[in-house]
Amino acid sequence: FTLAVPVSWMEKKNLSNLEEFILLGFPGTQGLQITLFLLFFIMYMLTIMGNMAIITLVCTNQRLQTPMYFFLCNLSFLEIWFTTACVPKTLANFASQSKAISFISCAIQMYFVFSLGCTEYFLLSVMAYDRYLAICYPLRYSSIMTSTVSSWLALGSWVCGFSIITVPTVLITRLSFCASNVINHFFCDIAPWIVLSCTDTRLVELVTFGISFCVILGSCVTTLISYIYIISTIVRIPSAQGQYKAFSTCFSHLTVVLIWYGSTIFLHVRTSVESSLDLTKAITVLNTIVTPVLNPFIYTLRNKDVKDAFWKTVSGK
């Protein structure tokens, strides 16, 4: 039999100052790795091209120079960088035997993924507020949602998103690791990082949970209240055509909201981070890879103004 020997103080010290992690990703045969590489690569390319197309359409068509499409441009720009923060490294891991990522790179990746994620919550809330003003106060909308106001709302979303993640990132990078450096994920997520630590993580978990609770549920409540007022206003419109026209302006946003919040509430508003890491990986694929590639199609296929601008651009008119 093998005698179990406790980890020595020197081994703990070495792991406490480790220089790299191993991203476990999706273990499997070489055929599975190639299949996943092609799938992730295609979706990543579609995400970049689709969101770049949205930005180009909005910037080059005068009809789309409104606050609604200004916020959509911000969302598309964010989706490009949100996906880029984790997918290229995942593709590199699929294509090589080495799954290593340096400690600094891992911390930077974590910071950007979650900062961009928080920014998306704020942007979706701002977009819901914009639709609320447009439908509930159509005569005053242009005087309330000016270009200055929309610019400040977008800037505030970015600043808040990148500021609020600073504290948990600093706390997490100060943790010590004494048993393993293998992260059970395809990118540097907070939950697997915390699970590896051999020091007290209660403060980190509390801060992470508190921020997740405030940001996710706070923005969710804001969006929900906005849509309660929107729907109550739409049902009072006398004509069915008027109701359809009003609802069609916010259908795309509502679809994105339901997909985004449905997956991320499960991921982050939890009191325990040690359970269901494999399930967490699967759900994370939905909101880091699938949702960004769906957004351009949702906004293009369900939005008449964007479709008209697209076909006019394609036809050269």
Q: What is the DSSP string of 202-258?
A: HHHHHHHHHHHIIIIIHHHHHHHHHHHHHHHHHTT-SSHHHHHHHHHHHHHHHHHHH
Rg for the chain, CA atoms, rounded: 22
Evaluate if residue 278 carries a pLDDT over 70: no
Evaluate if residue 199 carries a pLDDT over 90: no
The pLDDT tens digits of the residues spanning 235-245 come to 888 887 777 77
pLDDT at 175: 82
What pTM does this model have?
A: 0.84
pLDDT bucket at 63, cuts 50 / 70 / 90:
confident
Distance CA 98, CA 274 (A): 25
The pLDDT tens digits of the residues spanning 152-191 come to 999 999 999 999 999 988 888 888 877 678 888 888 888 7
Evaluate if residue 48 carries a pLDDT over 90: yes
pLDDT bucket at 269, cuts 50 / 70 / 90:
low
Domains of the chain: 20-304 (1.20.1070.10)
